[in-house]
Structure 1
Amino acid sequence: MKLYCEYLLNDKPPILLIHGFASSTYTFRRILPLLQERYSIIAVDLPGFGKSEKSTSFIYSFENYAKVMIECIHKFGFSTTHIVAHSMGGQIALNMARLAPEKINKLVLLCSSGYLNPANKYLVWSSYFPFFDKFIYYYIRRKEVKDHLKNVFFNQNLINEDLIHEFGRPLAEKGFYKALIRLLRHREGDLPSHQLQKIKVPTLLIWGKEDRVVPVAVGKRLVRDLPDAQLITYENTGHLITEERPEFVFKNIIMHTS
């Protein structure tokens, strides 16, 4: 499987960036120039998203995503790394911490997904029907890209043509919908409390108080379940926190990983 990756290798500590659902490395475009002064950077488009392959044989479970990301760390020759992960990427990072805690120094989770169940079994069964990918296509495309972006921003004035183009580009690819169906089938649900309580990796949770996608209540629950975690919230900030508060996110990453 071919993965798209952006990286900058130097003699500084490594940091792995993991984006969220229906996104790409573009999520981190505003913090990458800041991070490159202090870190070696690896940013990967997850299988099925961005410019990476939309495989129809990969099992799109969080555990498999985590294993792929662990292999990326090995590929670049790092023994350990910090991880910054957004939204669904937070669940992948937590699975990495569950599978290979010795590989991870610190976790920074940005508006992380949490406590979601697997897809409804009837919906999973329906995904095997012919032309289900067309149903998914029309369901997602029923709204304009700008409307989807309005849901992840608090400050609507930040939505511009570049953002609309970049977030709309993958939605035009047929392969994206086939991969999305496989994610629907294989996503095993977010880690439950009893598994989160075993993750000892020091974790910083950063949240927008006006996040409509993953409410801050999820962050408050995660900080109770994770043994070594703290939560920081930003006023007047939505789900796409790296776009609305890049400088604050950068400063908090520095403080947590130093």
Structure 2
Amino acid sequence: MLKYLRAFVLVGAVSQASCAGRLAEWAVDLERWRSNLEEKRTRVGEFEVAYLEGGHGPHALLIHGFGGDKEHWTRFARQLTDRYHVIAVDLPGFGESSRLEGLSYGPKEQADRIELFRMALGLEKMHVVGNSMGGMVAGVYTDQYQDRVLSLTLIDSGGIRSPEPSELSRELAQGRNPLVVETREDMDKLLAFNFYKQPFIPGLVVTKLYEASVPHREWNRRVFKEIHGKGTVVEEALPRIRVPILVMWGDKDRVIHVSATQTVQKIKPEAEIKILKDCGHAPMIERVDESSQIFMDFVDRRFPAPQ
């Protein structure tokens, strides 16, 4: 009864709010509440790190991609929190975590910060899941801290070469980077670039995303240049990784071409590869039910519950 009352009050507050920014904040709060997630913060070295946490069971750490944040996992986590203790982190340099000048934000440095984050939260072994740049961090983390990882899930991951170039790589060759937003129109284009069938996102929320992104565009350019130069870190780590690996990819990904899965298959033939038809770069947003079920089925097969 309390859940329904809280939802009623929350929706009522949204309907009465006059500020577009406040409406967007209420929408985010509602998504978190529906997913049984609570926002928290902790110290990781010099950084203050924001994260979402909820649920009970084996630990599942979710790591977002470039320009993203912990909210990218909210609906995916909704499917998991009945069975898993879910943590969705804002990587240092992104979201609501600290941005500190003069430091590296490459996958190795971020992997070391993830280990400090794990220690700060007192977590033991985790299922580690990463999308895009988050896949680079997840792959490097698994390689460096293998005894802390139960399984690795790579979703449209960076750090793996694709035999066929992506649309993003062709844009970059022309001096354009569609992942860095300059105008409100660019934000609409960015969403279209990342999704094949874009899920409904209220216009107020898109505007809020744009307003949050623009102050950091020069920062994002610098960080993108740094991580783009690490284009094979996961590929190089794969032969050393011993934990079970799941690879998910949208077949219409314009950011990292789906042919990267062929590279994984050659290096790690025992990895499970799932290609989602008519899906873009972020299956955990675009195809929430399917991607979360693939993850849970994978874990159930590899880590069956004791009878």
- Shorter-chain TM-score range: 0.7 to 0.9
Taking the TM superposition and a 5 Å limit, the aligned residue runs for 1:83-94 are 83-94=128-139
Question: Structure 1 156/194 Cα, relative in aligned 2: closer, same or farther at 3 Å?
Answer: closer
Q: Is 2:198 the counterpart of 1:153?
A: no
Q: Is 2:143 the counterpart of 1:98?
A: yes
Letter in 1 for 2:106: S
Q: Is 2:111 the counterpart of 1:111?
A: no
Residue-pair matches, total: 239
Q: Is 2:280 the counterpart of 1:235?
A: no
Q: Is 2:218 the counterpart of 1:177?
A: yes
CA distance in structure 2 between the aligned counterparts of 1:225 and 1:115, rounded to whole angstroms = 11
User: Cα deviations across residues 115-156 of structure 1 (Å, max 9, x unaligned)?
Assistant: 36xxxxxxxxxxxxxxxxxxx9xx741552001110111114
Deviation at 1:72, TM superposition (A): 1.4
Is there any run of 5+ residues in structure 1 with no aligned partner, and where? 117-135
Deviation at 1:162, TM superposition (A): 5.0
CA contact 2:182–2:214 (8 Å) conserved in 1 = no
CA distance in structure 2 between the aligned counterparts of 1:100 and 1:231, rounded to whole angstroms = 23
Deviation at 1:163, TM superposition (A): 5.0
Question: Which residue of the partner structure matches residue 198 of structure 1?
Answer: 240
Question: Which residue of the partner structure matches residue 4 of structure 1?
Answer: 50
Question: Structure 1 160/115 Cα, relative in aligned 2: closer, same or farther at 3 Å?
Answer: same
One of 59, 70, 82 as aligned partner of 1:25: 70
Question: Structure 1 211/3 Cα, relative in aligned 2: closer, same or farther at 3 Å?
Answer: same
CA distance in structure 1 between the aligned counterparts of 2:93 and 2:59, rounded to whole angstroms = 25
CA contact 2:135–2:158 (8 Å) conserved in 1 = yes
Question: Which residue of the partner structure matches residue 58 of structure 1?
Answer: 103
CA contact 2:64–2:90 (8 Å) conserved in 1 = yes
Question: Which residue of the partner structure matches residue 16 of structure 1?
Answer: 61
Question: Structure 1 157/80 Cα, relative in aligned 2: closer, same or farther at 3 Å?
Answer: closer
Question: Which residue of the partner structure matches residue 122 of structure 1?
Answer: none
The structure with the larger Rg is 2
Letter in 2 for 1:242: M
Deviation at 1:224, TM superposition (A): 2.2
Structure with greater contact order relative to length (CA < 8 Å, sep ≥ 6): 1
User: Cα deviations across residues 41-75 of structure 1 (Å, max 9, x unaligned)?
Assistant: 11111111111111113211210100111121111
Deviation at 1:182, TM superposition (A): 4.7
CA distance in structure 2 between the aligned counterparts of 1:194 and 1:180, rounded to whole angstroms = 25
Is there any run of 5+ residues in structure 2 with no aligned partner, and where? 1-46, 162-176, 301-307
CA contact 2:90–2:96 (8 Å) conserved in 1 = yes
CA distance in structure 2 between the aligned counterparts of 1:113 and 1:148, rounded to whole angstroms = 17
Question: Structure 1 167/221 Cα, relative in aligned 2: closer, same or farther at 3 Å?
Answer: farther
Report the TM-score when normalising by structure 1. 0.83
CA distance in structure 2 between the aligned counterparts of 1:184 and 1:95, rounded to whole angstroms = 18
Question: Which residue of the partner structure matches residue 288 of structure 2?
Answer: 246
CA contact 1:205–1:223 (8 Å) conserved in 2 = no
Question: Which residue of the partner structure matches residue 46 of structure 1?
Answer: 91
Question: Structure 1 25/228 Cα, relative in aligned 2: closer, same or farther at 3 Å?
Answer: same
Superposition CA RMSD, Å: 2.6
Deviation at 1:86, TM superposition (A): 0.6
Identity of aligned residues (%): 24
